[in-house]
């Protein structure tokens, strides 16, 4: 597959799998936010809908930490995407009206350059020689993609979770580059509670002997550490109330219970096991470590007084969404973010949602999110 | 040291350390709640104040998962105890008035028989051959201790956290054995959220190669798994609001930051590290696994309709305390427990406390807890 915009061939495509990814080259020498330079990097992306003649109907979607750019099905890849019920004709991100672009984060492992990619200078994977990664780098890689598509100004930049932080970096770095902004379950700076939870997950990976200081082979990843990290991640993405409804104290399904000492006994443990198993086989450990730490380190105020930074961003409107049951990105954080937008003079809507699914509500309660975001975009 | 009540010698006492522990023998063959028999077991305990002639002024204190029986200083051991500001003359557990007895849980590793103890049948530590442990066994071991002291009826049985569950098992198993009950930050049955969090901690231990299926030597415990488990435990014992106040995004103290890849950068990570290091050197991994699982498995309703069970317990009064910021034992659980007590016809006080310290508030906000519990006991 070749990208019309860049003529690049797909570096990781498997010809037997449907694949809608295109690729945008980054500048040959891409100076990273915290120092270091990435050479010959690129980002993978997918699109839905059509860019209009005025090139002013584009919506750029940044993802959470682990999803790929495949947010929805398309003719090239009919598989369901991670935000399938949100993107399409007549849906919240209405592809009859908008040209929707979803970018795989720089540093991830689903087509964009990251620690698992081959370093052209050595012919070996970067692993821990990948330069320090900041959310600003992810924002800028998305911006380079937008420019490569000939788009001068986005209609909207939008993202959930990690993406809800990246849109803030985008606004800070590229004044005037988006007319509107939607931050979903994000934060201006990670709380110590979120840092604690993520740092334990990273430690689970780095203390797995199979991690080998990042030198594991793709066939032998630090599966034990990744499994623990993902199980803990899954807990933080949901809520106690949802699980009380969903699992209560039901016993585990017989086919999921093991016979090891202290093995799983309750249904909720089976759920964690299924979530973890899927992820261990899909996500690269070093990429995970880089992305996770980048979330801890991000702080909008590093760009200056947020009110000043956000005024300079020159947004016509902002929508800040939070979920009351979110334990990882607490509702108080979205509230104070919305207040900073308001104080900057931006027309801001703050939507605290009563969903019980916690941080992941944007993936689950798409009816509520769809109404809200669709209404905002329809303006 | 010899116990007046039992004449037993202290099995684990280090003669160079101050030690106020006494020991009570369990029946030679102690039938465990879930099957199996423990032979020649005992529990360690400490006391403060004096048993009166009527033997009706005793308060039995069960602990949380990890503390020893040393809840407060005494002439035999002047070191500060884990509930120092709550036990003493004029304090909430007023030793001018009450004879306070704190028992180390059966299955723990601070003097009571547990998986780290020597099995008299083999001369080797029990490790995983220790019989299945239930909170009912901990309750019954406490009851055997009380009987060995010649006490027919406790004035009050009280416990926080795991102890807040054990007091319910005590009430269910021994009708009339206590006049009053105080359950602090406990629950009638662990929620799926708490089960998820604890099961991840156990998996961190059991997936550490150093655990060796329980066959580690005391000199080489599964330190990596224990460290991860305790860090996660510490997160669940506190609250996001407290840490935002206490740590915000302050950098880690220089002496705590390592130079390893993805090492700690924020103050909150240093705090976790200090907590974990203390614990790894103090607590036995197998004991931890047994106690943690016992908490998941406990369900008051296994004893029958809680209203019936609690009516049969024949308590004059109950005080159920919860903390609104507790994420591990959510306030809704203490509320519904209090409702079950009320429905049983027990005179019940429910105290939802607005502390910000989460589950651990009983260890930190002792002023508030002291007023409440002292008032209840004096009342």
CB atoms within 10 A of CB A268: 29
The alpha-carbon gap from A268 to the nearest alpha carbon of chain B, in Å, equals 6
Nearest CA-CA distance, residue A193 and chain B, Å:
5
C-beta atoms of B296 and A266 within 8 A: yes
**What are the per-10-residue average pLDDT scores of chain A (379 residues)?**
40 73 98 98 98 98 98 97 98 98 98 98 97 98 98 98 98 98 98 98 97 96 98 97 96 84 95 95 96 98 98 98 97 98 98 98 98 96
Q: Per the structure block, which two tokens stand in for A162? A: 């990690």
Pick the closest to residue A297 from A182, A187, A170, A183 (CA basis): A187
The ipTM assigned to this model is: 0.94
- Chain B residues 299-328 within an 8 A CB cutoff of chain A: 299, 327
Name residues 261-290 of chain B within 8 A of A (Cβ).
Answer: 261-262, 264-269, 272, 289
pLDDT at B226 (0 to 100): 98
Q: Mention every residue, 6+ apart, whose C-beta is less than 8 A from residue B52.
A: B99
Separation of alpha carbons A148 and A103, rounded Å: 13
Name the β-bridge partners of A22.
Answer: A45
Q: A101: which strand partners? A: A47, A60
- d(CA A111, CA B253) in angstroms, rounded, equals 38
User: Which residues 167-206 of A are in CB contact (within 8 Å) with B?
Assistant: 189-197, 199-200, 202-204, 206
* Main-chain dihedrals φ then ψ at residue B9, nearest 5 degrees: -90, 155
Cβ distance A192 to B232 less than 8 Å, yes or no, reads no
Residue A15: the pLDDT is 65
pLDDT tens, N- to C-terminus, chain B (379 residues):
334 344 344 445 566 789 999 999 999 999 999 999 999 999 999 999 999 999 999 999 999 999 999 999 999 999 999 999 999 999 999 999 999 999 999 999 999 999 999 999 999 999 999 999 999 999 999 999 999 999 999 999 999 999 999 999 999 999 999 999 999 999 999 999 999 999 999 999 999 999 999 999 999 999 999 999 999 999 999 999 999 999 999 999 888 777 788 999 999 999 999 999 999 989 999 999 999 999 999 999 999 999 999 999 999 999 999 999 999 999 999 999 999 999 999 999 999 999 999 999 999 999 999 999 999 999 8
Residue of B nearest to A223 (CA): B207
pLDDT of res. A282: 93
| Chain B closest-CA separation from residue A228 CA (Å) | 7
Note whether A202 contacts B247, CB cutoff 8 Å. Answer: no
- A371 to chain B nearest CA, in Å? 30
Residue labelled with tokens 């607490």: A330
Cα gap B98→A50, rounded to integer Å: 79
Rounded Cα–Cα distance for residues B127 and B109 (Å): 12
Query: What distance in Å separates the CA atoms of residue B370 and residue B86, rounded to the nearest whole number?
Result: 6
Any residues with CB less than 8 A from the CB of B196 and at least 6 apart, and which?
Answer: A231, A234, A235, A243, A268, A269, A272
Mutation site for B-interface testing, chosen from A129, A199, A256, A293 by largest number of B Cβ within 10 Å: A199
- Check if A284 is active-site: no
Domains plus CATH for chain A? Answer: 22-190+299-378 (3.40.50.1820), 194-290 (1.10.1740.110)
Q: Which residues of B belong to the active site?
A: 161, 326, 359
In angstroms, rounded to a whole number, what is the distance separating the alpha carbons of residues A292 and A195? 9
CA angle B193/B194/B197 to nearest 5° reads 90
Spell out the long-range contacts of A126-131 with Cβ–Cβ below 8 A and sequence spacing 24 or more: A126/A286, A127/A214, A127/A215, A127/A286, A128/A213, A128/A214, A128/A286, A128/B261, A130/A38, A130/A286, A130/A290, A131/A32, A131/A34, A131/A35, A131/A36, A131/A37, A131/A38
What separation in angstroms does the CA of B201 have from each of A130, A228, B32, B235? 31, 9, 25, 12
Partner-chain contact A262 B299, CB within 8 Å: no
pLDDT value for A238: 96
Do B232 and A232 count as a contact with CB atoms less than 8 A apart?
Answer: yes
Task: Quote the CA–CA distance of B243 and A95 in Å, as a whole number.
Answer: 43
CA terminus-to-terminus distance, chain A: 36
Spatial distance between the Cα atoms of A349 and A318, rounded to a whole number of angstroms: 6
Whole-number pLDDT of residue B3: 40
CA distance linking residue A278 with residue A280, whole number of Å: 6
Chain A nearest CA to B268, separation (Å) = 6
User: For residue A59, what are the β-bridge partners?
Assistant: A100, A156
- Residue B300 to residue B181: CA distance in whole angstroms: 15
Task: Retrieve residue B81's tokens.
Answer: 């105890």
Count of beta carbons in the 10 Å neighbourhood of residue A315: 24
**Which chain A residues are Cβ-neighbours of B196 within 8 angstroms?**
231, 234-235, 243, 268-269, 272
Cross-chain residue pair A231–B196, CB shorter than 8 Å: yes
**pLDDT for position B13:** 53
> Which of A196, A249, A297 has its CB closest to that of B269?
A196
B230–A contact, CB cutoff 8 A? no
Put simply, whether A223 touches B (Cβ < 8 Å) is: no
**What are the residues facing A9 on neighbouring strands?**
A2
Q: Least CB-CB distance to A213: which of B192, B239, B261?
A: B261
Buried b (16+ CB within 10 A) or exposed e, B180-216: bbbbbbbbbbbbbbbbbbbbbbbbbbbbbebbeebeb
Selected for mutation to probe chain A from B203, B224, B252, B275 (highest A CB count within 10 Å) is B203
Q: Is B269 within 8 Å of A204 when comparing Cβ atoms?
A: no
Instruction: In whole angstroms, give the CA distance from residue A268 to residue A289.
Output: 26
User: Cβ of A204 and B202 within 8 Å?
Assistant: no
Q: How close A38 comes to chain B (CA, Å)?
A: 19
What is the per-residue pLDDT for A186? 98
Mutation choice for B interface testing from A165, A189, A192 by most B CBs within 10 A: A192
Predicted local confidence at residue B259, as pLDDT: 77
Window 245-264 of A: residues touching B by CB (8 A cutoff) are 246-249, 260-262, 264
**Contact check, Cβ <8 Å, A224/B207:** yes
Instruction: Quote the pLDDT of residue A10.
Output: 44
SS3 sequence, chain A? Answer: CECCCCCCECCCCCCCCCCCCEEEECCCEEECCCCCEEECCEEEEEEECCCCCCCCCEEEEECCCCCCCCCCCCCCCCCCCCCHHHEECCCCEECCCCEEEEECCCCCCCCCCCCCCECCCCCCECHHHCCCCCHHHHHHHHHHHHHHCCCCCEEEEEEECHHHHHHHHHHHHCCCCEEEEEEECCCCECCHHHHHHHHHHHHHHHCCHHHHHHCCCCCCCCHHHHHHHHHHHHHHHCCHHHHHHHCCCCECCHHHCCCCCCCCCEHHHHHHHHHHHHHHCCCCHHHHHHHHHHHHHCEHHHHCCHHHHHHHHCCCEEEEEEECCCCCCCHHHHHHHHHHHHHCCCEEEEEEECCCCHHHHHHHCHHHHHHHHHHHHHC
* B207 and A CB contact within 8 Å: yes
């Amino acid at each position: 597959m070749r990208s019309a915009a860049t003529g690049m061939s797909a570096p990781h495509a498997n010809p037997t799998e449907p694949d809608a990814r295109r690729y945008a080259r980054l500048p040959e020498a891409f100076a990273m936010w915290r120092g270091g330079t990435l050479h010959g990097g690129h980002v993978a992306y997918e699109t839905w809908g059509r860019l209009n003649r005025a090139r002013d109907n584009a919506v750029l979607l940044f993802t959470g930490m682990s999803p790929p750019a495949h947010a929805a099905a398309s003719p090239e890849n009919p598989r369901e995407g991670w935000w399938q019920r949100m993107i399409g004709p007549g849906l919240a991100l209405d592809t009859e009206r908008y040209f929707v672009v979803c970018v795989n984060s720089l540093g991830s492992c689903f087509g964009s350059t990251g620690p698992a990619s081959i370093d052209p200078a050595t012919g070996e994977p970067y692993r821990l020689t990948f330069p320090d990664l900041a959310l600003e780098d992810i924002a800028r890689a998305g911006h380079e993609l937008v420019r490569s598509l000939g788009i001068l100004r986005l209609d909207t930049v939008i993202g959930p979770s990690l993406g809800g932080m990246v849109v803030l970096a985008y606004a800070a770095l590229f004044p005037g580059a988006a007319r509107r902004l939607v931050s979903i379950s994000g934060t201006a700076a990670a709380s110590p509670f979120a840092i604690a939870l993520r740092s334990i997950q990273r430690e689970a990976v780095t203390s797995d002997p199979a991690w080998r200081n990042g030198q594991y082979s793709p066939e032998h990843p630090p599966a034990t550490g990744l499994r623990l990290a993902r199980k803990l991640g899954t807990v933080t993405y949901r809520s106690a109330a949802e699980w009380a409804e969903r699992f209560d104290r039901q016993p585990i399904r017989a086919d999921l219970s093991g016979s090891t000492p202290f093995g799983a006994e309750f249904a909720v443990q089976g759920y964690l096991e299924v979530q973890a198993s899927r992820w261990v086989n899909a996500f690269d450990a070093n990429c995970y470590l880089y992305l996770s730490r980048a979330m801890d380190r991000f702080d909008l105020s590093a760009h200056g007084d947020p009110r000043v930074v956000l005024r300079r961003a020159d947004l016509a409107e902002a929508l800040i969404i939070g979920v009351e049951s979110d334990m990882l990105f607490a509702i108080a954080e979205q509230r104070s973010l919305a207040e900073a937008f308001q104080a900057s003079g931006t027309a801001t809507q703050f939507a605290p949602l009563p969903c019980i699914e916690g941080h992941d509500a944007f993936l689950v309660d798409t009816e509520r999110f769809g109404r809200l975001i669709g209404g905002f975009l329809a303006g």
